[in-house]
Structure formats: structure tokens, C-alpha cells
């Protein structure tokens, strides 16, 4: 497996919607393995294909992701799952993702309003249709990663003022390079 380069904001391709996957082949399986390796190396709890420069509707996520309050539990084996062409088919409740971050949005975390529960429809690696419900941290991860597939970053879901402050900070860093 290979650790891939994670693209970072303000990379314009992160803001483009991804295309549907029509064929699950060995090339896609290799991409998914590399994405899993990259996610854990970063370290992160989810990764979308656009974040590694591939404009396809594919995400991977850590099946053992926990909240910060649960971090004192013993280490859990790294295990990820992939979803192909995932979509949110229903959502309910309201929660705030405390200090949500992103591998493509460096040095910034923010509280983001998300749904508490979501129902997901996707394909697995074998091309079988899945439908399942998640809540809590997994629901937040699903919403965050599916947003990436739609060209939306979590900073697009925060206040205009906070987003402007972050963009100003990044532009300043880029000028000083």
C-alpha cells in the first residue's frame, strides 16, 4: 500500500463535485487500500477520494472512530471500510460536531452543526447495495466525507466571519512561502 498526498485548501479541485463510480475494478480497490493507509497515517477518521486528487465518489472511514471523551480506552486495531457512491437518504436530529477538523483544512477546527442521525445508501467493494443508519461520531464522519464528494468543505458550514478569518490566515501563509 502507498500513502497518498492529501490535497489542502485552497486547492480548487477540492471544491468540485465528484463523479459517480460505474466500475469497481482492481484499480479502484488499490485506490481504496491506499486511501485507508493514508487516512490512518495522517491520522484521520475519514477520507474522501477528492482529498487525494481523485474525482470519484468514494470514501473510507475508521470503523472504530471515537469521540475525544473515549480516547482513554485502550488502542483499537486500525480497520476501515469503503463506501462507493454514498448518499444520505434521510437525516434527523441536530448536534454540534465539537472542533471538527479536516485533513485538507490545515490548522483549523470549528464547531459545525450536523444531523445527529443519518441513513446512508452506498455500494460496498463487491458492488452490493448497502443501506444503514448511523448516529453520533459515525454520522458526523459520513456527513463530512459525503460533503467532500459534493465539493463542500466543513469551513463552508461555519459562519461567514470565521470562514473569512481562516481564508485570510491561509492567504497570508501562502504569501509568506
The answer to whether the CB of 162 falls within 8 A of the CB of 110 is yes
Distance CA 20, CA 77 (A): 31
pLDDT surpassing 90 at residue 171: no
Average pLDDT, whole number, for the chain? Answer: 93
The answer to whether the CB of 57 falls within 8 A of the CB of 48 is no
Percent share of the chain, pLDDT over 90? 84
| Known active-site residue 145 | yes
Ranges of each domain in the chain: 12-175
Q: Comparing 57-61, 69-73, 134-138, 151-155, which segment has the lowest mean pLDDT?
A: 69-73
Distance CA 177, CA 172 (A): 9
* Averaged pLDDT for residues 130-136: 97
pLDDT surpassing 90 at residue 175: no
Helix intervals (H) in 128-159: 137-149
pLDDT reported for residue 67 = 57
pLDDT band at residue 75 using 50, 70 and 90 as cut-offs: low
- State the CATH class of domain 12-175: alpha beta
pLDDT surpassing 90 at residue 89: yes
DSSP H or E stretch at residue 40: helix 26-41
Catalytic residue among 78, 87, 126, 145: 145
pLDDT reported for residue 174 = 82
The answer to whether the CB of 104 falls within 8 A of the CB of 8 is yes
Distance CA 90, CA 78 (A): 29
- Predicted TM-score (pTM) of the model is 0.92
**What is residue 68's three-state secondary structure?**
helix
Amino acid at each position: 500500500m502507498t500513502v497518498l498526498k492529501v490535497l489542502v485548501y485552497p486547492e480548487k479541485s477540492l471544491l468540485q463535485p465528484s463523479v459517480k463510480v460505474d466500475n469497481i475494478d482492481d484499480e479502484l480497490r488499490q485506490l481504496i487500500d491506499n486511501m485507508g493507509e493514508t487516512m490512518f497515517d495522517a491520522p484521520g477518521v475519514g477520507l474522501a477520494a477528492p482529498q487525494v486528487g481523485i474525482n470519484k465518489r468514494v470514501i473510507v472511514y475508521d470503523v472504530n472512530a471515537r469521540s475525544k471523551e473515549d480516547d482513554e480506552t485502550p488502542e483499537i486495531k486500525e480497520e476501515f471500510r469503503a463506501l462507493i457512491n454514498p448518499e444520505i437518504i434521510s437525516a434527523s436530529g441536530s448536534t454540534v460536531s465539537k472542533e471538527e477538523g479536516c485533513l485538507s483544512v490545515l490548522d483549523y477546527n470549528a464547531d459545525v452543526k450536523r444531523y445527529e442521525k443519518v441513513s446512508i445508501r452506498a455500494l460496498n467493494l463487491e458492488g452490493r447495495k448497502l443501506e444503514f443508519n448511523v448516529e453520533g461520531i459515525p454520522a458526523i464522519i459520513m456527513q463530512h466525507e459525503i460533503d467532500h464528494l459534493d465539493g463542500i468543505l466543513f469551513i463552508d458550514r461555519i459562519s461567514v466571519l470565521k470562514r473569512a478569518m481562516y481564508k485570510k490566515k491561509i492567504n497570508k501563509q501562502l504569501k509568506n512561502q
